[in-house]
Each structure stands twice: as C-alpha cells, then as structure tokens.
Amino acid sequence: MALMTLHQYLVREKRENGVPEELAELILSVADACKKIRSKVTEGALAGVLGMAGTENVQGEDQKKLDVISNEIMCGANAPSGTLSGFASEEMTEVMGVLSEYPVGPYLILFDPLDGSSNIDINAPIGTIFSVLPCPGGAKRSVTEKDFLQPGVNQVAAGYAMYSTQTQLVFTLGHGVSAFTFDPAVGEFYLTREHITVSPSTAEFAINCSNMRHWQKPVQQYVKELLAGETGPRGKNYNMRWVAAMIAEAHRILSRGGIFIYPKDDRIPSRPGKLRLMYEANPMSLLMEQAGGRATNGLQRILEIQPEKVHQRVAVFMGSSEEVDYVTGLHRRQD
C-alpha cells in the first residue's frame, strides 16, 4: 500500500474535517521551511553553520549561527504564502507583519525556529516548533503584539519538525495528532503515524535533576517519590531521561508515554519558568491534549493561560495524564 504524502493528507483533511484551504497551504509552507532547515542542519560543519553567531536574542541568550539561519528561513519561506498577517519568533525582539510585496492572510504564526540549540554542535536532536493562531479581525496589513496575545486554546494548528536520525513533522489541526517522515530521496513528507495517543500511565520521566536544590517543594517531593521506586509511595520503578531539548522530550512522550517537567525554580524568583509560553509550551500542550495527555504549569491548564507578552515564560508539566494530574495536585495542595 502506497504511503500518503503530506499534500494528500491535507486534501483529505479539507474534505473530511473542513480544514480551510489557507490553513492547509500554511502547513505546506511550514513543511517546506523545515526541509530547508533540515538541509542546513545536515550539512553542519561542511556548510560552516555551526558555532556561535556572536549575538543575543531578546531573552539575552547567545544565538548559534543555525538559530539565526533557521529564523530567516522560517520568515522567508512563509511570508509569500498569502496565509499570514504576521510572525513572532524566539529570535525576534518584536512581532513582524508581512512585507507589502506579499498578500496577507487570516493567520498568525509563532515559532521557535531551532529548539535545543545546546544540542547543535554535539549532533543531538533539535527541531522547529510552530503555533498558528487566527488573526483577530481577519487578514490585515498591520499587526501588533496585542493581536498575538491569545490563550493557547485559540490555536488552529500546532506542531514541530524534529531533525535527528529521521526528520519528522508532527502536527495537529485540531482533529488528533499525525506524524510524517521525510524521504530525502524524493523530498517528500509521508504519513507514518496518525491518531497518536499518549498512555495515561507511565514509568518514565524527564527532568534536569541537577537543579533539584532550586526546585519548589512540590517538585522536590514528586521526584523523590519517583526515585524511591517500588518501595516508595508510588509503588513502581521509574526511569529518567533527559535530552536537553523540549522537542525531543515531547516526541518521546508522543512515541511511548512519559512526563516532561521544566519547573519554576528559586534562582530567579520573579521568573515563572524557563520555557516560553506562546511558541514552546502552547503548541506542545495542544499536541499533548490532542493525543489524550495533559499539560499544566503546576496549577493551571497551560492552554487557558492568558498571555501578557509574546516572550512570556511558564513552568511546564506535560505528558501522561496520571502523572501530570498527580504532580499538579501536589502544587494545588501546597497553594
């Protein structure tokens, strides 16, 4: 049986689930951008794209060359699509409208052009995360940050491309989660998994335990219980994994279950978390929920958080529902 291409899948989604033509076109545009980023990632040192760019992003983080290149590719590939009114990115200080030479469309896109930058030079998994929102009032030439400040429940699509041993594109259009694998021989993404589900129970967790001394008490208690294994209060043994890229952690959960945690800690008390709400936590939370998982900030469903700024940070607990509900309960009882 022949595999279904991304284009064929989107035709089916338009016919069976009423996916708008412009949204399907935007997904194809994002996929094309991810193909180009994959090419740069694959070339690596041969193309001189590794190492530092010598600049910082809006969060004060040092940018890698591939961060900057990937951001340029995402903007350049999606701007001409006619589906967008504006962009927001981890690598851009302010939101950006579509240039006057291109038509505008009814959507806004937010993205982390290359998640897991610390993994670039060691050839570990990295990827591109994207979130699509409706543009308030429809297509328009001028957008402001306020247009983007919508809770995650408003997303009409979200997903990621992961560049690793395989390049995979995983996304939702609000009707479940599907995964596509890139065939470099023909330059196509093919549907390889759909109706992805996350098991409610798991024995695997991902967190950076080197920060344990900085965590708040509910997180310390939770991880200690997991580490106690079958003789502890949870009554079973757990394995820990840590790839240092949210995209890889989420992909593992969508593949075999688990929980990913990046909590608030006490090093910067005023900061609610490390990860960005709008172009990291929101799209991944939508994927998790569409697959039957959960995602909270320890107290609240992430998708219901009203953002106050595009680069807002948030604590993240996402994955198998039993574990997310349990650790969220620990936070709520303390609160």
For the beta sheet containing 84-89, the strands, ordered from the edge strand earlier in sequence to the opposite edge, are 96-97, 84-89, 107-115, 126-134, 157-163, 167-172, 177-183, 188-193
Instruction: Please enumerate in sequence order all residues whose Cβ is within 8 A of that of 84, keeping only pairs 6 or more positions apart, or say none.
Output: 26, 78, 98, 104, 105, 107, 108, 109, 135
Is residue 10 helix, strand or coil? helix
Phi, psi torsion values for 168, nearest 5 degrees: -125, 140
**Residue written as token pair 């993994």:** 119
| Structure tokens, 69 | 């290149």
Distance CA 22, CA 135 (A): 13
Contact criterion met (CB below 8 Å) for 312 and 302? no
How far is residue 205's CA from residue 260's CA, in Å, rounded to a whole number?
6
Q: Which residues participate in the annotated binding site? A: 90, 112, 114-118, 208, 274, 280
Q: Which of 259, 316, 250, 268 is nearest to 116 (CA)?
A: 250
Q: Which residues are annotated as a binding site for substrate?
A: 115-118, 208, 274
Cα separation, 188 vs 250, in Å, equals: 23
Binding-site members for Mg(2+) are: 90, 112, 114-115, 280
- The H or E element that residue 327 is part of is helix 321-334
- The CA-based angle 110-113-116, given to 5 degrees, is 120
Of residues 176, 170, 167, the one with CA closest to residue 19: 176
